[in-house]
Each structure stands twice: as structure tokens, then as C-alpha cells.
Amino acid sequence: MSFVDSDPVIEHRLGCSIRAYFEREGEEAFRDIEEQVIDELTHSHDGVLSTGGGSVLRPANRERLRARCHVIYLHSVPEDLYRRLRHDVNRPLLQVADPMKRLRELYALRDPLYRECAHFVIETGRPSVASLVNMILMQLELAGLVAPPAA
């Protein structure tokens, strides 16, 4: 399947990094562009679409994703996210004195929104990428959305 990540599409449209745009224009202006891109991608892209973590904050995004896609929420607890992201300097919302506290706040706000638009919830924990892919494929096969592999 083809794959597109909305963040590089947004950055191409902005002509700069998301972090730079965030700092210059603020979160609301960024979310406006993100909403336009998600609307376009959910209409035009046929394959896997990866969205930014805050894309679920806008009701229009949740509605479009739920109606136009098969949404898979890769659920991670804040502690696992912190372990993966603690050295990432490109995430504007985590450039704070206490990123763990910020991750917990974001999780409390976003988890119910992710669940609202998700068709499937996959617990990520610490398995390998291959294991996660297999869990996703099994869910899609059980739902009749992809054919099981030939024997």
C-alpha cells in the first residue's frame, strides 16, 4: 500500500518546518493548515495515512478520518512516549521544562479523542515494529478489510 505522512505534506505547503511555523504563527494557525491537508488527503489518498499527534483536536478532522478511513489508534502510555521522544527536538509541544508532565497532559486530552475516531485500538507497549504490523494486519483481516495471506 502507498503511504503518506501528513506532516511532510504540511511542511511542504508551509515552506518551513512545523516547529518554525508553530513558533512564528502559533498553534491555531498551524491547526488550520493541518485541517485543510487532512481534508484533502482523506479525499485523495488511497493507502496508509499517518497524521500528527494533535490532528484529533479538531472535530472536523475526527469526523473526516472516521468517515473516510479505517482509523487505527496506536495507543501508547505517556511513559513509553517519553522513552521514545525524550531526545526529539522537533516536536514544539514537548520543548518545555517538564516534557513528561506535558505528555501526561496531552494524553489526558487526546486519548478520548483518538478513541472517538478509531475503528481499531492497538496497544503498542514495547513490541517490535514487525509485531505491531502483524497485530494491525490481524485486526484488518478479522474485520474483512484485507485478505489473509495465501497458505
Name the superfamily (CATH) of residues 2-142: P-loop containing nucleotide triphosphate hydrolases (3.40.50.300)
**pLDDT of residue 130 exceeding 70:** yes
pLDDT digits (tens, 9 = 90+) for 1-55: 899 999 999 999 999 999 899 889 999 999 999 999 999 999 998 889 999 889 9
Q: Which of 16-20, 68-72, 114-118 has the lowest mean pLDDT?
A: 16-20
State how far the alpha carbon of 101 is from the alpha carbons of 41, 63, 139, in Å: 32, 29, 32
Average pLDDT on 116-141 reads 91
Q: Is the pLDDT confidence value at 92 over 70?
A: no
Q: Rounded CA gap, 129 and 132, in Å?
A: 5
Per-residue cell: 112: 478520548
Burial label for 51, CB within 10 Å (0-12, 13-18, 19+), is buried
Instruction: Give the global pTM.
Output: 0.85
pLDDT of residue 99: 81
For the chain, the structural domain boundaries read 2-142
Least confident of 10-24, 89-103, 126-140: 89-103
